[in-house]
Every structure is written in structure tokens, then in C-alpha cells.
Chains A and B, each alone.
Chain A
Amino acid sequence: MSTKFLEIVNVEKKYGTKNALRGVSLELQQGKIIGLLGVNGAGKTTLSTILATVHPPTSGDIFFKGESIYRNIAQFRRKIGYCPQSPNLNNELTVQENLQAHGRYFGFGPDEIAGRIKELAHSFQFTSYLDKKPSELSGGYRQRVSIARSLFHRPQLVLLDEPTSGLDPHVRNQLWEYVKKMRADGVTILLTTHYIEEAEQLSDYVCLLDKGLVRLVDTPENLMRTFKKEKLEQVFIQLAEEQDKE
């Protein structure tokens, strides 16, 4: 019997009287990319931050390889990489120092840190900005560094919250290639995005959140077949129209 990689069971999140998540249950399979879609306020970022262990759920549980992540949260945190929507890098440190510090927090030695910085700076093309402070960089470069930091410790589960917003198309393509490479290496990725094209290109599964509930989960191909559409975007337009009618 195989153990599920990550299982979200009936997770609810309330902020005062507002229900941001209303019983979300979802399964993430190892080595797959799941695209999390939904309009603003659907609960995508809330779910991401709960999975990243930044915030706790109001109720429900999350199981990683069969064990609740809350039993040993520090251990779970070693296995995840989280890139938030807004980069939260330390502006008092240079880009290089931010990455070095991250490496040390995760127990990397100096040589390994140097190698990893070189590799990631090359992959995300910010080598010439390593000595700059994040506050001196454009939003797009800050985002690249933030993504690189989330991947630095080679996590098994990567949570990317709107990672490509503000990125130039060619950098977006590079990130897509990197994401595909990680999948090939067996990394599981939860990709929250507004770009349906991005979800279609990358996701093995897409999950549509609507008002804090999972409306559907399926492969992009199945969705297009079921709804008889050629593009995933058309499927979501139809679904959005149906929701408006409801």
C-alpha cells in the first residue's frame, strides 16, 4: 500500500467571521505539479500559507507521507520551499548574504552554499546582482531571488505563490523550464497562478478554488475534453460564467 505524499483533509480557515477556506480536501502526488487556480479571494494564498506553515488552519489537518505535519513542524519545514507572492527578503543584507544565510539555516556548509548560489544565480540570471541589496533591485529581480531562496535547500515540496507575476516573458520561460526539471527530479510543486496558460503548460493537475471550496480537480486534458474546449482558459471562462449565474 503506497503512502500519500501530501493530503489536505477538510481544512478550514476563518478570519473573524469570514471563511477563507471552507473544508478543503486535496491530495498532492509526489513528482507532480498541481496548479491552484481561482479568482481573487478564492483562498489560494490562504491555502499556500497554511501549507507553508506560516499560518495554522482553524480546523482540519494536513498529512505528509501519512503523518500530520503539526506533529513535527520543524521537520516538515525542512522539506518544503515557499515563495510568497511578495518577496520578503532581508533588505539589510545583499542578495548573496540572503542566500548564504538561508543555506546556513538549513545546515549547508560553506562550499555547498557557494555552489548552490552559483547554480541558482545562473539559472535565474541574477549573478551580476549578487552584491546588491534586494531594495536596490527591480520587482522582477527580487522575485527571482525569492524563488531561488525557496529552492535553495532542495525541498521535496515547493509552494510557489504567483511566482511569475512581474517577471519578463523570457524569465518566466526559464522558470517554467526549471519547474519542469524539478518535477523530473521528483519534486512536488504547488503552483498558485493567475495565468491559465501557465497552469496549462506546467500542471499535471489543476485545482479550481472558489469561495474557499475546491470546485474541481482534474488534468488539463480531461477538463478540456469534458468541457469540449481547446484551451484551459476557455474552460475557466465557462466555469466563471456558470458561477456568476449561480
Chain B
Amino acid sequence: MQNLSYAHVIKELVKTDLKIFRKIAVNKWIDMFIWITTMILVFAYIMPAFGLTKSYGAFMVATMCSTAGLFQSFSYLAELVADIEGDRIISYYFTLPVPSWLIFIRFIIYYTISFMVLGFLVLPAGKLMLWNSFSLAQVSYGKLALIFVLTNIFYSVLALWTASYVRSLLRMDSVWMRLIYPLWFLGCFQFSWQSLKEVSPVLAYIDLLNPLTYISEGTRAAILGQQGSLNFWLCVLALLFFIGAGGWHAIKKMKKRLDFV
């Protein structure tokens, strides 16, 4: 017991989290499947009737790969806020034999794994629904794996960071309207950064402060090819910065909020 390492405790905590996740994974997959099919149906089959280009379906599948975790992060954020306001199970974790800040690293690991498990569904589902209109030939799987992992780490950090600010579950709708929705809608989800720059260069440069811009652009660069997207490696660097800065700030804010050692 004396040689009990921090890694062992964190591994066991994540294993427990995943055990709970397994019980709800099927439901989450159903939710995800409904979201994917609805989006593809609208953007690949209905919107072209209103003049949208046929290839827009593939564009959306590429972006949806990067967005799946965002919605799930909102759910974890609500869970965390509910616990802080209610049962305070989190206080129990601060009595386990690890430094307190590692408890948040455990949250990040668990959230990231669960986001990835759910997000994996998007690409095959998109291929099945679009078939010939969506080619997987140009996918760079190495780059996709890298940006996929970084994206989901970022969403985990975002959930923690936001939870450190949200005082009550009653304010969750404000989180959605004031933070998630603008980040998502202006985060090059439905358009490329290049097209935004053509419409409004000022807004495009301001949008470089939005981490979701790098997520959308980087994922599209990995799935559809570099042309028309921000440089992939710039997206990776920017995401690393947002993860590092956001993670540090989230733990600092959590320390203040929860007053842990």
C-alpha cells in the first residue's frame, strides 16, 4: 500500500467512471445517432433544394466529427454543477491518496474517453448516409486521430472551466446561450474560415480567438484535405495552447470555488 502510485488511483477512478458510462453508453449512442441523421438529412438532402451545394453534406460530416463532444460536455458540466451544489461527491475524491488537482486530471481523462467513444460514430454513420457523396480516400487518419484527441481534451477542459464559473443549475441556460451557442455557431461549424474572411476580414480575425474555429478547421483539414482550411499544424498548436491555458485556469478557479487543498 505504501507504493500506491498516483497513476494507480487515477486509473481506478477512471475505470469506475467508465463502468458508470457503460450503463448509459447505449442511450448516448442513440442520442448521437439521432443528431447525426437529422443533421445529414437536413444539410445533405433538404438544403440542396434551397441552392446549397451538394458537397455540403460531406463538409458537415467532417465538422460534426469535431462537434460531437461539445454537446456531451454540456451534459457533464451540468452533472458537475449539480454535484457541487448538491451531494458534493467531489469532496470524497479530495480525501483519496492523490494531490487534489489530480482529481481534475481524472475528470479530463474520463470526459475525453467518453467523448471519443461517442464521436467515433460520426464518420462511419456519415459515410453510410452519404455514400458516394463522401469519399474517405482523402482522409489523413493520423491527423484525424491527433485532432480528434485534442478536440475532446479541449471539450473536457471547457466543461471544467465553465463549471468553475456556474453558480447554479438554474443558470445553465445562460451557459448555453452566452457561451456554447456563440462559440459553436461562430466557430466555423457551418462555414470555412476562408469564406468568413471573404465576407468580413475583421470578424474572421476576431474568430481566431475562438478555439472552436481551430477544431472545425483542423478536423476538416484532416478529413477533406488541407485546401480551403486553416493550416492543420496551426490548429494543433492553437488547441494545445487553449488546452494548457484553459486547464490551468479551470483548476485554479475550481480551487477557489471548492476551497480544496
Contact = CB atoms under 8 A, between A and B. Distances in A.
Interface of A: 49, 52-56, 70, 73-75, 77-78, 80, 82, 84, 86, 88-93, 97, 101, 104-107, 153
Contacts of A70: 261
Interface string B1-44: 10010101100110110011001000000000000000000000
B91 interface: yes
Contacts of A49: 91
B137 interface: no
B97 A75 contact: yes
B89 interface: yes
5 contacts: A86-B87, A101-B16, A105-B13, A105-B96, A106-B96
Contact of B261 (A56, A80, A104): A56
A84 B87 CA distance: 11
For the residues of A in contact with B, the DSSP-based class is loop
A222 to B, nearest CB: 33
B23 A92 contact: yes
Contacts of B15: 104
Given A53-B261, A101-B12, A106-B4, 6 more contacts: A54-B261, A73-B261, A77-B97, A78-B4, A90-B16, A97-B16
Given A53-B261, A73-B261, A74-B6, A105 B97 contact: yes
Contact of B20 (A88, A89, A93, A107): A93
Contacts of B23: 92
B91 A54 contact: yes
Contacts of B97: 74-75, 77-78, 105-106
B259 A55 contact: yes
Closest 7 A/B residue pairs (Cβ): A107-B4, A104-B12, A56-B261, A77-B97, A78-B97, A92-B20, A74-B97
Given A54-B91, A70-B261, A107-B4, A77 B16 contact: no
A53 B12 contact: no
Contact of A91 (B87, B91, B95): B87
B88 A105 contact: no
Interface string B218-256: 000000000000000000000000000000000000000
A56 to B, nearest CB: 4
B125 interface: no
A56 B259 contact: yes
Contacts of A106: 1, 4, 96-97
B124 interface: no
A39 to B, nearest CB: 23
